[in-house]
Amino acid sequence: MASFPERLATVLDRRREDGLYRQRITLESAQGPLVRVAGRQYLNFCSNDYLGLAAHPRVVAAFRQAAASYGVGSGASHLVCGHSAPHRELEEALAAFTGRPRALLFSSGYAANTGVLASLLRAGDHVFEDRLNHASLLDGGLHSGARFQRFPHGDVAALRGRLAAVDGPKLVVVDGVFSMDGDTAPLAGLAAACADHDAWLMVDDAHGFGVMGERGGGSTEAAGLAMAEVPVLMATLGKALGTAGAFIAGSEALIEALIQQCRTYVYTTALPPAVAAASLASLQLLQEEGWRREHLAGLVGRFREGAEQLGLPLMDSASAIQPLQLGDAARAVSFSERLRRRGLLIGAIRPPTVPAGTSRLRITLSAAHTQEQVDQLLEQLAACFAGS
Ligand SMILES: *Cc1c(COP(=O)(O)O)cnc(C)c1O
């Protein structure tokens, strides 16, 4: 048996040997298209601030104003005395916006996903997850006690076969937009399969909410699905809304049951009220300023057209996530480093976040980017790929 120090040393050595060692960069500026790291300015193509709201003056002002009234810490969990007026107001606004009776705030998307799966599922139930689902959904499903199956990515026919083969309560869980690939789940097909086999559908719309759909309602709005088809809707506030936290939206019974027994809701300190107030300002902005979605869609089109002309290894994505698949982890890291020297911040995504052999540069676009910045990105990518 290895001692703890030996074990830690082995883990670190192995990560280095495999070219999978991870290091953080430290930002010295607000999130935005231009960020400062170690005194140098970079063009940022790796944040999830898809609508450019993380440092928006109205969002910052709402945060500041609420901090002045409510202080910083929420002081307790929601069930003790940490639930305040901004939380309540945001929950009501999210419920109205998503067309659900209720919404419930969580401190993070990770907590929302693991918590709702643990609350909903029991031993003997069946949970079916797309194999490329976010780690929080896979962890939640695996630890739920239910029988857990992964189905091939986006494969409705395979899912139908598996649903038909089992009895009892069944839950199907997918990302609306897949976080590392940028493609969209076939939600209409999945919903039909669920209806035919008496299963519930849960959608994690971390990357679709605020971005997809005519009104920014997300990938379920884009697919024309409401609560009848998607009884469990989850989205995060830390991506397109530019703040932090997450929510689950659904029926009165779902939300009340979560308040009663969801461990990641009950046993944790409520989000700071000012974060809720800032999120409410973001939600208003995303409703008022449809141009952010239109501009972002324009940038995505411009990037894909340019990348196609250059013969870059684009993936099948219509979202703000535009990965370039490179395969080998060392190759992805080397490209990311070369781009860094050229003043671009783009993350190399490697196993275990993505399957072995599918390492990639994960480029993300934001409504805060200009067309010129996307052209600069294409120019630098062309130079890097030409020299490889
Ligand atoms: C980011 C993300 C989460 C986790 O949300 P946090 O608020 O960052 O914990 C969950 N699901 C998906 C698909 C995500 O991209």
* Residue 361 belongs to domain with CATH number: 3.90.1150.10
Which domain-ending residue is among 252, 269, 288? 288
CA 66 to chain centre: 26
Active-site residues, by number, are 179, 207, 239
CATH number at residue 141: 3.40.640.10
- The strands making up 347-349's β-sheet, listed across from edge to edge, are 321-327, 359-364, 347-349
**Domain presence at residue 117:** yes
**Domain presence at residue 6:** no
CA-nearest residue for atom 6, ligand 1, is 109
How do strand 200-204 and strand 321-327 relate by DSSP bridges? Answer: unpaired
Helix (H, G, I), strand (E, B) or coil at 104: strand
Q: Are 282 and 59 in contact (CB under 8 A)?
A: yes
Same domain, 209 and 146: yes
Same domain, 282 and 295: no
**Among 48, 105, 110, 139, residue to substitute to test ligand 1 (most atoms within 8 Å of Cβ):** 110
Query: Residue 40: beta bridge partners?
Result: 37
Same domain, 272 and 323: no
Using the 8-state DSSP alphabet, how is residue 120 labeled?
Answer: H
**Six token digits for residue 290:** 């449809």
Q: Tell me the H-state helices in the chain.
A: 4-17, 57-70, 85-98, 109-120, 135-142, 156-164, 187-196, 219-222, 252-261, 263-266, 273-288, 291-309, 329-341, 371-386
> Is the whole model's pTM more than 0.95, yes or no?
yes
Which sign does the torsion angle of CA 221, 223, 224, 226 carry? negative
Q: How far is the centre of ligand 1, averaged over its atoms, from the C-alpha of 138 (Å)?
A: 12
**Domain presence at residue 3:** no
Q: How far is the centre of ligand 1, averaged over its atoms, from the C-alpha of 112 (Å)?
A: 9
Q: How far is the centre of ligand 1, averaged over its atoms, from the C-alpha of 180 (Å)?
A: 11
Q: How far is the centre of ligand 1, averaged over its atoms, from the C-alpha of 110 (Å)?
A: 6
Same domain, 159 and 88: yes
Same domain, 297 and 218: no
pLDDT tens, per residue, the chain with 388 residues = 789 999 999 999 999 988 888 889 999 999 999 999 999 999 999 999 999 999 999 999 999 999 999 999 999 999 999 999 999 999 999 999 999 999 999 999 999 999 999 999 999 999 999 999 999 999 999 999 999 999 999 999 999 999 999 999 999 999 999 999 999 999 999 999 999 999 999 999 999 999 999 999 999 999 999 999 999 999 999 999 999 999 999 999 999 999 999 999 999 999 999 999 999 999 999 999 999 999 999 999 999 999 999 999 999 999 999 999 999 999 999 999 999 999 999 999 999 899 999 999 999 999 999 999 999 999 999 999 986 6
355 preceded by cis ω (within 30°)? no
Same domain, 25 and 81: no
Same domain, 298 and 284: no
Same domain, 118 and 221: yes
Cβ of 167: how many Cβ atoms within 10 Å?
8
**Domain presence at residue 36:** yes
Same domain, 80 and 171: yes
**Domain presence at residue 12:** no
**Among 130, 139, 236, residue to substitute to test ligand 1 (most atoms within 8 Å of Cβ):** 236
Residue list, ligand 1 pocket, CB within 6 Å: 108-110, 113, 134, 136, 175, 179, 204, 206-207, 236, 238, 246
Pick the closest to residue 33 from 15, 51, 14, 19 (CA basis).
51
pLDDT value of position 287 = 97
Same domain, 130 and 228: yes
How many domains are contained in the chain? 2
Q: Are 210 and 50 in contact (CB under 8 A)?
A: yes
- Which residues are within 8 A (CB) of 73 and not within 5 positions of it... i.e. 6 or more apart? 269, 272
At residue 287, φ and ψ (nearest 5 deg) are -80, -40
pLDDT value of position 24 = 94
- Which residues are within 8 A (CB) of 205 and not within 5 positions of it... i.e. 6 or more apart? 175, 176, 177, 212, 218, 219, 220, 233, 234, 235
Same domain, 265 and 344: no
Of ligand 1's atoms, which has the minimum distance to the CA of residue 205?
13
pLDDT value of position 246 = 98
Place of tokens 């298209």: 33
Place of tokens 């994960």: 362
Instruction: Give the amino acid at 88.
Output: R
Query: What whole-number distance in Å separates Cα of residue 217 and Cα of residue 208?
Result: 8
Give one DSSP letter per residue of 310-350, joined into a string: TT--B-S--SSEEEEEEESHHHHHHHHHHHHHTTEE-EEE-
pLDDT value of position 386 = 87
Domain that holds residue 141: 58-288
Same domain, 300 and 277: no
pLDDT value of position 388 = 65
